[in-house]
Amino acid sequence: YAGRRCTAPRPKPFMRDSGQPDDTGMTTYHIYDVILIVSCLECALAATAPPPAAQALMENAMTSVKSAERVLSLFEFFAQRQSAATITEIAHALSIPQSSTSMLARNLVELGYLEQDQRKRTYFPTLRIALLSEWMNRKTEVAGPLAKLLDIVRSETEETVILAIRNDIYAQYILVQDSPDPLRLQVQSGILRPMTCCAPGRIILSMLPDAEIQRIARRTNLEVQSNHLVLSEAFVLQKVKEARKLGFAMTDGDMTPGAGSISITLPIPIGQKPLAISVGGPSNRIAEKRGKILDCLFTLRDKFSVCDMSKELESASAPLPLPNLA
């Protein structure tokens, strides 16, 4: 087969052949031929099978495609449902095992695309999903209020502007507008930062009870891998109380050496989780611009009131009318 010689060992007769058929009507030569044919077929199948490495790649590719299909199906499910759902409800709607659904939901929570209500055991999409298409909204002149807000702050301060939300014990940067300055704070959208160590995290912590802040500090110290991110509960509580009193949080090299940031919360109850907006850059520039940055943040927060933001968000999320094809 395929120009390959059969390398199957030639079987030895299991009995001395007399050339006479046995009670099945077969001679030992007949049995010998059957064994040889079977061996040749096995060699042919082995020769045409893909090598183990290629087979593993094919299996991984198929698994990745299936996972991607499930993620998109899950997002479409929430688009139709428009409310939180349990693992059982998601698994039933997507027709996949509950174990696979749990793993998928857990990964999406870690990535910041879903939020989990541990008390109700439900899941719901985060603002990060809505912001994925924000650039398309701006191209079609349907700019969302949050992206517009970040654009204004970046223009006024000329520093990197970050929109963050709580994700368990971390602050997750769900939208980032980079500073036009070559020497700037560079962070990626979606990145996780310990809430105890960054300005957006500390201002979000300021809205929590002290006992919960201490629990978060203990958990963070167990999970972080860098020694400079291990902070005592007393120190964290002190910084959070300062932020609570001032109405803003400020860091100077706490998270990233040489980088500082100033952060306030936005009064937008998205999924019952507060949003934080932060301005970051080289520590010396942030310290020099402190007054300007705070004036800009507080002025814009007052301008974009809860009522106005809710109306704009509702308008931005409303379905577009279908074209008349008649």
pLDDT digits over 90-132, tens only?
999 889 999 999 999 999 998 889 999 988 999 999 888 877 7
What would the mean pLDDT of 39-61 be, rounded to a whole number? 58
Rounded mean pLDDT of 161-168?
A: 91
199-251 pLDDT, tens digit each: 999 999 999 999 999 999 999 999 998 899 999 999 999 999 999 999 999 99
Would you call 196 exposed, middle or buried from its count of C-beta atoms within 10 A (0-12, 13-18, 19+)? buried
pLDDT value of position 68:
86
The confidence score (pLDDT) of residue 131 equals 76
pLDDT at 303: 76
CATH of domain 52-125: 1.10.10.10
What digits encode the pLDDT tens for the residues 243-254?
999 999 999 999
**The two domains 52-125 and 129-316 share their CATH topology (first three levels equal):** no
Q: What is the pTM of this model?
A: 0.61
| Eight-class DSSP state of 165 | E
Q: What is the rounded (10 degree) CA torsion for 294, 297, 303, 309?
A: -150
CATH code of 129-316, in short, is 3.30.450.40
| Residue ranges per structural domain of the chain | 52-125, 129-316
Buried b (16+ CB within 10 A) or exposed e, 274-310: bbbbbbbbbbebbeebeeebbebbeebbeebeeeebe
Tell me what the pLDDT averaged over the chain comes to. Answer: 79
Q: Which helix (H) or strand (E) holds 203?
A: helix 199-205
